[in-house]
Amino acid sequence: MTDKSIRQAHADPGKVHDVVIVGGGPAGLALALALHMAPGVEVDVAVVERGNGEPPNDPRGWAIAEGPRRVLDAVGAWVDVATRSGEVREMVISDTPLGDAVRPSLLNLGGTDNEHDPVAWIVPAGALHGALLMRARETGIAVHTGTSVTGFEQAGAYASLATASGGFIKARLVVAADGVRSPLRSMAGIRTVGWDYGQTGIVTTVSHQFPHEGRAFQHFLPGGPFALLPLPGNRSSVVWTEESGKAKRLLALDDLSFMAEFALRAGPELGDFALEGPRGGFPLNLLIARKFAVQRLALIGDAAHRVHPLAGQGLNLGLKDVAALAEIIVDSLRLGIDPGAVTQLEQYERWRRFDVFQMAVATDGINRLFSPDIAPLRVLRDIGMGLVDRSGLLKTWILREAAGVTGSAPKLVQGLPL
Ligand SMILES: Cc1cc2nc3c(=O)[nH]c(=O)nc-3n(C[C@H](O)[C@H](O)[C@H](O)COP(=O)(O)OP(=O)(O)OC[C@H]3O[C@@H](n4cnc5c(N)ncnc54)[C@H](O)[C@@H]3O)c2cc1C
In a domain, 203, yes or no: yes
pLDDT of residue 9 exceeding 60: no
- Per DSSP, the three-state class of 147 is coil
Residue-level pLDDT at 103? 66
Q: Which residue has the higher pLDDT, 185 or 93?
A: 185
Residue ranges making up the domain that contains 158: 3-412
pLDDT band, very low/low/confident/very high, at 14 (cuts 50, 70, 90): low
How far, in Å, CA of 71 to CA of 410, rounded?
10
Whether residue 11 has pLDDT greater than 80: no
Tell me the three state secondary structure of residue 172: strand
Count the neighbouring beta carbons within 10 Å of the beta carbon of residue 150.
16
3-state DSSP call for residue 160?
Answer: strand
Taking 90 as the threshold, does the pLDDT of residue 349 lie above it? yes
> Residue 12 burial (CB < 10 Å; 0-12/13-18/19+)?
exposed
CA of 385 to the centre of ligand 1 (A): 31
Q: Is the pLDDT of residue 285 over 80?
A: yes
Any domain includes 122: yes
CA trace torsion 321, 326, 332, 335 (10° rounding): -140
Cα gap 42→68, rounded to integer Å = 24
- Say what angle helices 125-139 and 26-36 make with each other, to 10 degrees: 30
Query: 45 by DSSP, 3-state: which?
Result: strand
Q: Is 213 helix (H, G, I), strand (E, B) or coil?
A: coil
What is the predicted pLDDT for the residue at 119? Answer: 87
* Domain count of the fold of the chain: 1
Assigned domain for 418 exists: no
Quick one: average pLDDT of 180-202? Answer: 97
pLDDT of 33 over the 50 cut: yes
Q: Tell me the CA–centroid distance for residue 30 and ligand 1, in Å.
A: 12
Query: Is 4's pLDDT higher than 60?
Result: no
Taking the C-alpha atoms of residue 120 and residue 122, their distance in angstroms, rounded to an integer, is 7
Contact 161, 188 (CB under 8 A): no
Residue-wise DSSP of 48-110: E-SS-SSPP----EEEEEHHHHHHHHHTT-HHHHGGGSEEE-EEEEEE--TT-S----SEEEE
Alpha carbon distance 269, 209 (integer Å): 9
Are 236 and 266 a contacting pair, CB within 8 Å? Answer: no
Q: Is residue 394 part of a domain?
A: yes
Q: Identity (one letter) of the amino acid at 150?
A: T
> In the structure, what pLDDT confidence band is assigned to residue 380 with cuts at 50, 70 and 90?
low
| Residue from 57, 178, 320 whose mutation best tests the ligand 1 pocket (most atoms within 8 A of CB) | 178
Check if the beta carbon of residue 260 is closer than 8 Å to that of residue 252.
no
Tell me the CATH number at 46. Answer: 3.50.50.60
Q: Is the CB of 410 under 6 A from ligand 1?
A: no
Q: What percent of the chain stands above pLDDT 90?
A: 70
- Asked whether residue 417 is domain-assigned, the answer is no
| Contact by Cβ (8 Å): 321, 327 | no
pLDDT bracket for residue 142 (50, 70, 90) = very high
pLDDT category, 303, cuts 50, 70, 90?
very high
The one-letter amino acid at 32? A
In a domain, 194, yes or no: yes
Residue 38 counted as domain residue: yes
Please determine, for residue 404, whether its predicted confidence score (pLDDT) is greater than 60: yes
pLDDT at 267: 85
User: What pLDDT digit, counting tens, does each position of 51-88 carry?
Assistant: 998 888 999 999 999 999 999 999 999 999 999 999 99
Domain assignment present for residue 142? The answer is: yes
Per-residue model confidence (pLDDT) at position 363: 85
Q: Which whole-number Å values give the CA distances from 147 to 7, 52, 228, in the listed order?
A: 10, 9, 37
The per-residue pLDDT for 289 is 97
- With a 6 Å cutoff on the Cβ, whether 301 touches ligand 1 is yes
Q: Is 22 in the pocket of ligand 1 (CB under 6 A)?
A: yes
* Comparison of pLDDT for 273 and 15, the residue scoring more: 273
Nearest to 113 by CA among 323, 389, 405, 408: 405
CB atoms within 10 A of CB 373: 12
What's the 42 CA to ligand 1 centre distance in angstroms?
A: 28
- pLDDT (average), residues 182-211: 97
- Confidence band for 311, pLDDT divided at 50, 70 and 90: confident
Kindly give the number of the ligand 1 atom that is closest to the alpha carbon of 302: 26
Percent of the chain with pLDDT strictly greater than 70: 83
Judged against a pLDDT cut of 80, whether residue 397 lies above it is answered with: no
| Confidence check: pLDDT of 105 > 80 | no
147: alpha, beta or left? (left if phi > 0; alpha if psi -120 to 50): beta
Radius of gyration of the chain, Cα coordinates, nearest whole angstrom: 22
